[in-house]
Amino acid sequence: MAANFFGQIFRITTFGESHGPAIGVVIDGCPAGLSLSKEEIDHQLSFRQSGKSPYTSPRKENDRAEILSGLFEGVTTGAPIAILIKNHDADSSQYESIKDLYRPGHANFTYLEKYNIYDYRGGGRSSARETVARVAAGAVAKKLLAHFQIECAAFISEIGGISIRDQDLSNLSKLRKKIETSPIFCPDETASIQMIEKLEQIKEEQDSLGGIVSCAAHLPSALGDPVYGKLEAMLASAMLSIPASKGFEIGSGFAAARMKGSEHNDIFDIDLQGHVRTATNFAGGTLGGISTGSPLFFRVAFKPTSSIQKPQQTVNLNKEKATFQLPESGRHDPCVAIRAVSVVEAMTALVLADALLMNRNVKV
């Protein structure tokens, strides 16, 4: 079943394996008339890049986008935009030693159950390497959103039990500056320092940490569709499709379960500009699945990186007990949430771009 696409009107289809020649994406449904450059995509890819700090995996991914189609003289034409990102530094030989072992926390067991075949080199299609295609597509979606003054910003809000203080979501440019200052995309400087300490410690332990990525967006009211097309349903689907994600909550989220209706209901009021707005935003920016115009706000939980240097017990394909030892050279991020920041932001942009276009069809 076709399952490598996302979106309805602004639709992406991704392809490629971790150790194949390239990862790619086709964006079908991007409106014509948008100026777009390779550099803008590369800029987004750089945020996802590993090797940039000691807190993400040292595998160098100098990812560069190659735009194969859909542009004419620097402007989108309405034709599908295909983007290729070549794979480099992919030494498959290291995976020889572990190819017959079920990897703890990994997908080789389920892929083999499902398909009877598995490209074990670097995780093949199940590798988080696939997310580079999402970030490339997200760069295009962001250009479309920017045209309509819509923006979003994702950031680290918790790692290894250390949480950030509440951030002011009213000015996303300011927030973005704080995010980009931190080597781990954490806008709270104090928390950032503590997290980095924890990350250094966990690397020494040959272990890994989980984390939480938060995301905020500024958008007009009326985006999102009722019933099964609710904005939060689309976002939840997008976020739980990111490798290693374990949960999604919007606005008050799980905390809502411990609140009373009289506390949780955001009271409607008139702001200084005469617009209907709510003072609080427990809703997180939607009501009935449709944006209110208040900032969209949600959080995504990520499990600790499954690939750890520590030896682990497992079984092999012959159902014999075995020890799983990650090859030295196959080092991985100590906390996958850090790299997920750019992916959360990209997927948010894709959801909002689709919602924006779908909203053009709801009134005569």
* H or E stretch at 232: helix 231-240
Helix axes 336-358, 231-240, angle to 10 degrees: 150
* H or E stretch at 7: none
Closest CA to 115 of 244, 24, 18, 3: 3
Q: Which stretch binds a copy of itself (CB under 8 A): 40-48, 51-59, 189-197, 352-360?
A: 352-360
Q: Pattern of binders to a copy of itself over 116-135, x per CB under 8 A?
A: xxxx----xxx---x-----
Strand order in the sheet with 5-6: 5-6, 11-15, 22-28, 81-86, 65-67
Q: Pattern of binders to a copy of itself over 168-207, x per CB under 8 A?
A: ----------------------------------x--x-x
- The strand pairing partners of 341, in sequence order, are none
Residues in 309-338 at the binding interface with a copy of itself, rule: CB under 8 A = 310, 312-315, 319, 321, 337
Helix axes 38-48, 336-358, angle to 10 degrees: 140
* H or E stretch at 298: strand 296-302
Q: Establish if 56 lies at the interface with a copy of itself (CB under 8 A).
A: no
Q: Establish if 272 lies at the interface with a copy of itself (CB under 8 A).
A: no
Instruction: Report in angstroms how near the CB of residue 310 gets to a copy of itself at its nearest.
Output: 6
When binding is defined by CB under 8 A, the residue of 93, 204, 227, 273 that contacts a copy of itself is 227
Q: Establish if 138 lies at the interface with a copy of itself (CB under 8 A).
A: no
Residues in 60-79 at the binding interface with a copy of itself, rule: CB under 8 A = 68-70, 72, 75, 77-79
When binding is defined by CB under 8 A, the residue of 47, 55, 95, 111 that contacts a copy of itself is 111
Calpha distance 153→345 (Å, rounded):
6
Instruction: Report in angstroms how near the CB of residue 216 gets to a copy of itself at its nearest.
Output: 16
Instruction: State both tokens at 216.
Output: 């905020």
DSSP designation for 30: P
Residue 206 neighbours by CB under 8 Å, 6+ apart: 308, 309, 310
Q: Establish if 114 lies at the interface with a copy of itself (CB under 8 A).
A: yes
Q: Establish if 16 lies at the interface with a copy of itself (CB under 8 A).
A: yes
**Pick 46 or 327: Cβ nearer a copy of itself:** 327
**Pick 21 or 54: Cβ nearer a copy of itself:** 21
Instruction: Report in angstroms how near the CB of residue 174 gets to a copy of itself at its nearest.
Output: 26
Q: Establish if 254 lies at the interface with a copy of itself (CB under 8 A).
A: yes
When binding is defined by CB under 8 A, the residue of 264, 327, 330, 331 that contacts a copy of itself is 264
Q: Establish if 58 lies at the interface with a copy of itself (CB under 8 A).
A: no
**Residue 166 CB burial class (10 angstroms; 0-12, 13-18, ≥19):** exposed
Instruction: State both tokens at 319.
Output: 């159902």
When binding is defined by CB under 8 A, the residue of 93, 165, 270, 272 that contacts a copy of itself is 270
**Pick 22 or 46: Cβ nearer a copy of itself:** 22
# residues near a copy of itself by CB under 8 A: 154
Instruction: Report in angstroms how near the CB of residue 361 gets to a copy of itself at its nearest.
Output: 5
Residue 107, number of CB atoms within 10 A of its CB: 18
Instruction: State both tokens at 1.
Output: 């079943």
Q: Please give the span between the terminal C-alpha atoms of the chain, in angstroms, as a whole number.
A: 35
**Pick 46 or 105: Cβ nearer a copy of itself:** 105
- The strand pairing partners of 268, in sequence order, are 278
Sign of torsion over alpha carbons 333, 305, 40, 167: negative
Q: Establish if 228 lies at the interface with a copy of itself (CB under 8 A).
A: yes
When binding is defined by CB under 8 A, the residue of 36, 139, 186, 234 that contacts a copy of itself is 234
